[in-house]
Amino acid sequence: MINDAENQEIQAEWDLLNCLFPNDLSYPWNPYTLEAEAYFLEQEAADSFLTVFTEAELVDRSQRFMNQIHQVWSATSLQTSLLQRFAEQIPNDLLNRLAQVATRMTEQVSSVSLSLADQLVHCVQEILPQWSEEDLQVLARHAAYGMRGAEPDGVKLNSAMAGVTSWSELSELEQARTCFVVARYALLEVLSDQETS
């Protein structure tokens, strides 16, 4: 007996196959028949949308599309990195939101110059809305400027996270500090990905 979930999955597969291989005329193997000429005219008409756009518009749209794909890819790889590194300390939904905010933040930094502390506040503010911006600014100073130095990537991040056991066991202040450490790590990851690409 097939349950509803399996039935929906099978239906989705059939819908995908119908989209990929519609029930229209098959390719005419003999191009000299009348059916072949009609088929080729129909195919050319279907592809005529390409003539609607100029080459500059196609280049612009393709660049925007590729930028969007890069953003999604960056956010996804950052989410994976954060989950591997901090999943034991912070709930997954908070890590995913932090990765999305950090990715958006690095795009805004190129157009608007923000200090590292402001970037961290912006990232954490969406995760901890109960905190006032002024309080977050005070905590961000420690995370932004206290971690500065020529140490290898992540040394201070690892030492700051070493004693963390569980999100629910932390006080609100410790949760905020932990969020700043993770936000700092996320911003470093995104910036290093941008430098390598």
pLDDT above 60: residue 40: yes
Q: Which of 20, 9, 194 is nearest to 106 (CA)?
A: 194
Q: What is the pLDDT of residues 78-101, one digit of tens each?
A: 888 888 888 777 888 888 888 888
pLDDT above 80: residue 44: no
pLDDT at residue 100 in the model: 83
- Following DSSP, what letter does each residue of 28-50 receive, concatenated? PS-TTSHHHHHHHHHHHHHGGGG
Q: Are 136 and 183 in contact (CB under 8 A)?
A: no
Q: What is the mean pLDDT of residues 59-67?
A: 86
pLDDT above 60: residue 161: no
Q: What is the mean pLDDT of residues 127-154?
A: 71
